[in-house]
Structure 1
Amino acid sequence: MCKNQFNRLVHFEVVKGSSKDNCQNNVHKVLLVEAFYGGSHKQLLDALITNITNPTIVTLKPKKWHWRARCSALILTSRIPLVTTEQVLFISSVVNLAELLGIRPDLQGLKKIVYFHENQLVYPVKIIKERDIQYAYNQIVTCLAADVVIFNSVFNKESFLSNIATIIKLLPDYKPKNLEFDIRLKSKVLYFPLDFSTIPSSNEVANILTIVWPHRLKENNKKFLVSVLGEMFTDVPGIFATAQEHFHAEIINFGFVESREEYLKILSKSQVVISTADHEFFGVSMLEATYAGCFPLLPNKLVYPEIYPVQCLYDTEEELYIKLCRYCDDPALAQLNRRELNIDFDLYSIEKLLPQYLELFSIK
């Protein structure tokens, strides 16, 4: 038995032991499918598994995202069991749903819910014609095949819908019309549900600033410690090896932390968390770190202005550098600024969001 098959059996055994009541929650039998079972995709699916009785679960390893996006419909065809009692399909946008339904017509009668962790319509490229539109195309036809389309932020939803026409213009002829209108009618926003109850925080006064990414601080003799955290998949950018060598004296943690408890402990002992992302639609780890007590420094773009106050945002690298220098000189200032932040974490709490997710699985 291969490891992936074993994982599926473990999922079935764990979920069948659930004490949740489908009748009480008005939740019908759900088929959960995730073609990239890692990171936030895994985190969301696990949260749903915990709160749904006896779902049917099919997952693929989080390996080679580009291949998953191109071929997962074909791979899943033989892995998804024939429909018996399932009435709802919940699937992430990694899968081309239109392809899957074409190969597996028995799935067409289910209520089909697609969840967008990200979208490929605004993936950063210098020239629009250089974009491989296959990924964007897959996501557009997936929305057309779905009954409900869920985005994890307003930014994700609007950046997707408003760029459909841009992608369609790349077609040489026979350009479909009204796609944005049709998809918008079935689209809604449900923030990613986070379990904040498991995240510790610390009130210890820091003598040396502990941050996530050091930027240019070492060259200017600023004292700091850094944790570079995150799941690394098959393809790892070379900059990580360079950074590990350059900042070896400052790095206290590097790479993926297997223990969730240890990961959260590291967050609670840090004072600043930094993002330099140019492709982000929610940012689970940033919000977790902020809740744990880190002051967030983020680009003034993407999803970040939707979630974070203006004092957390920077417009240029120079502005980020100046703020980091200030916190290096006075780590307690970062802690004070974090305590003064006004972020409504209830908006992203699983306790508040779970009823809305369960409502998706009802049949009217």
Structure 2
Amino acid sequence: MSVLLIEAFYGGSHKQLIDLLQENVEDCVTFSLPAKKWHWRARTASLYFMQAIPSSSTYRVLLTSSVLNLAELVALRPDLGKLKKILYFHENQLVYPVRKSQDRDFQYGYNQVLSCLVADVVVFNSSFNMESFLTSISTFMKLIPDHRPKDLEKLIRPKSQVLYFPIKFPDVRREHDKDPEVFFKTLLKLKEKGLSFQVSVLGETFTDVPDIFAEARKDLDAYISHWGYLPSKEDYLKVLCEADVVVSTARHEFFGVAMLEAVHCGCYPLCPKALVYPEIFSAEYLYSTPEQLFKKLQDFCRKPDIVRRHHVKVDTDQFSWAALCRKFRSLLAAEAGEDL
């Protein structure tokens, strides 16, 4: 029981990573909270874990995601502060999109900065995630009206590194931040052009679902193959394997598990030329404007063999658990280990 895994938001990619480590790394014990009420998890999870995690002399390493305020936890539990503390960033709150700038709650990003300062190792799932966080710290701290801290990036960067999120292929899984308006408006333009296509819209349903989903489901009814969450991974894989193209219209993405899973199943990817995507996909799979996305899809609808005969030039194996397991095991070793 030398590795303590703590997850304040046990769902989606956060759950996938914890489950993967629990299954494949010896001597792990996990404490988690359900993936609900994200804001409250970020605010109060440390107090819950203070009471939920029993004292033990066998803990050597602690790994948690950046949802948890690690600084609060180690202050409440000094025994945990003595462990090798690893903070894993699936996303970061300094650049996470909000509808209006005044909607951004300073506390969430501030908590992540504090967590980095007390962590021994800070790990990001992509270079985009790391650089967007570290280079935004100085600007973010200017929101403090006076007596601002200085040079925090210089304290955090030396202990920061990139370790891609590990995907256990072929197992698969797929909000205002995904910009569904662009996606559905593009499909409606294809419909207006009289083009033939079928669409599958997969994923979990959350409490706050944009109105565009209900409107699009009605307007595109004749073009829909699948709609909604598929609880069976086998069924989800089957849909991906039947598809020709996978589209992202994300306004926020720090890694993109679902896109890589779809590519692994043979889909041709179309992604924004922004965020993490240029780090993973070459230029031919990127678009800069909704108009470019529409033109690409229009061409594919008229000549589907373009994508059906295309071999996607993305080595998904480099993102697999098989390729990354040694680095994760080294990270979770009590000693410093190799440079990842």
Q: TM-score w.r.t. structure 1 length?
A: 0.85
User: For the residues of structure 1 that align with 2:188 and 2:9, how far apart are their CA atoms?
Assistant: 31
What's the offset of the Cα at 1:236? 2.3
After superposition, residues 147-158 of structure 1 pair within 5 angstroms as: 147-158=120-131
Aligned 8 A contact 2:46 2:68 in 1:
yes
The answer to whether the aligner puts 1:176 opposite 2:158 as a matched pair is no
The alpha-carbon deviation at position 168 of structure 1 amounts to 0.5
The separation in 1 between residues aligned to 2:45 and 2:216, in whole angstroms, is 34
1:362 counterpart = 2:333? yes
Provide the residue aligned with 1:288 in structure 2: 261
Which one of the candidate residues 308, 324, 339 is aligned to 1:353?
A: 324
8 Å CA contact retained: 1:63, 1:233:
no
* Aligned equivalents of 2:3, 2:72: Cα separation in 1: 20
Query: Once the two structures are superposed, what CA deviation does each residue of 1:211-266 show, in whole Å capped at 9, x if it has no partner?
Result: x8635322222111111111223332222222222222222211211011111111
User: Which AA in structure 2 matches 1:275?
Assistant: S
The 2-side partners of 1:257 and 1:220 are apart by 30
Superposition TM-score, scaled by structure 2 size:
0.91
SS at match of 1:296: strand
Correspondence 1:129-278 to 2 at 5 A: 131-198=104-171, 214=187, 216-278=189-251
Alpha-carbon deviation of 1:134? 1.2
State how far apart, in whole Å, the 1-side matches of 2:51 and 2:188 are: 47
Q: Structure 1 residue 66: deviation in Å?
A: 1.8
Aligned twin of 2:314: 343
Deviation per CA, 1:78-114, whole angstroms, max 9, x where unpaired?
2222233111111000111111112222211111101
Q: For 1:148 and 1:92, how far apart are their aligned partners in 2?
A: 12
Q: How far apart in 2 are the matches of 1:215 and 1:144?
A: 48
* 1:113 lines up with 2:86 in the alignment: yes
Deviations along 1:170-202, one digit per CA (max 9) or x if unpaired, are 111111111001100110000011122557xxx
Task: Give aligned-pair identity as a percent.
Answer: 52
Q: Hey, what's the Cα distance between the residues in 1 that align with 2:206 and 2:54?
A: 28
> Which amino acid in the other structure matches residue 88 of structure 2?
Y
Deviates more, 1:280-289 or 1:105-114: 105-114
How many residues of Structure 1 are paired with residues of Structure 2 in the alignment? 323
Instruction: Look up the equivalent residue of 2:108 and give its one-letter code.
Output: Y
4+ aligned runs moved over 4 Å, structure 1 = 125-130
Which SS does the other structure have where 1:157 is aligned?
helix
Task: Name the residue aligned to 1:70.
Answer: 43
1:276-315 correspondence to structure 2 within 5 Å: 276-315=249-288
Report the Cα distance in structure 2 between the residues aligned to 1:262 and 1:126, rounded to whole angstroms. Answer: 34
Distance 2:154 2:100 in 1: 26
Q: Is the 8 A contact 1:39 1:231 kept in 2?
A: no
Contact 2:8 2:41 in 1 (8 A): yes
Show the counterpart of 1:35. 8
Q: 1:330 aligns with which of 300, 303, 324?
A: 303
* Matched-pair contact (CA < 8 Å) for 2:87–2:116: yes
Using the alignment, how far apart are the partners of 1:61 and 1:291 within structure 2? 29
Runs of 5+ unmatched residues, structure 2: 173-182, 336-340
Report the equivalent of 1:99: 72
Q: Work out whether residues 83 and 107 of structure 1, in 8 Å CA contact, stay in contact via their aligned partners in 2.
A: no
